[in-house]
Amino acid sequence: MRGALFNILGELTTLRVLDAFAGTGALAFEAISRGAAHAVAIEPDRAAQLTITDNIASLGLQNEVSLVRASAGAWLQTNLDHTFDIVLCDPPYNDLQRNLLERLSHAVAAGGLLVLSFPADQPLPDFAGLAQIHQATHGDAQLAVYRKLP
C-alpha cells in the first residue's frame, strides 16, 4: 500500500507533509526520502513515539521530521492555522474517527492533497472543499486521494 501511495503522489520536493496517525512514522520518513521538505508525525502512543524518535536520530532527520506527542485531535485544537501540501490519514480501522478526518481536511493547503487509507468495506467520506481524484482497493483496504479546491 505504501508503494502504491507514493507512486500516486510522485515528486514531493519542497512539500510539507502531515502524517496524522503516524504509528512508526513510516509514511513521514518515506515522504522525506522522496524529497519532502518537512514532515510532521503525530502519534499519541509512547512506544511508537520512541520508535519515531529513534528513527529520527539514527537517520539524522532532526531538521526534516518533527514528532508531535499527542493525538491528532489534541494537536488540531491548538494548530488550526497550520496547513500542509499533503495530509496523510491512516486512522486505526477499529476507530475511523470520521469527525476528526473532516477536521484534518482543513489542514490541507490550497491545491494540496489529503490521502486516506480506509477499510475496503466502508464507504469513503466526502470532505467539504475537497474533490476525490483517485480511489483504488488493495486487499482489505482502499486508498483515496482528495485535492483541495481553490
Binned at pLDDT 50, 70 and 90, residue 2 comes out as confident
State pLDDT tens for residues 57-104. 999 999 999 999 999 999 999 998 999 999 999 999 888 899 999 999
With 80 as the cut, is the pLDDT of residue 1 above it?
Answer: no
| Contact residues for 133 (Cβ-Cβ < 8 A; gap 6+) | 145, 146, 147
- Superfamily of domain 2-148 in CATH is Vaccinia Virus protein VP39 (3.40.50.150)
Written as nine digits, the cell of 39 is: 514532515
State pLDDT tens for residues 117-142. 999 999 999 999 999 999 999 899 99
Please indicate, yes or no, whether the overall pTM of this predicted structure exceeds 0.85.
yes
**139 neighbors 121 (Cβ within 8 angstroms):** no
Per DSSP, the three-state class of 27 is: helix
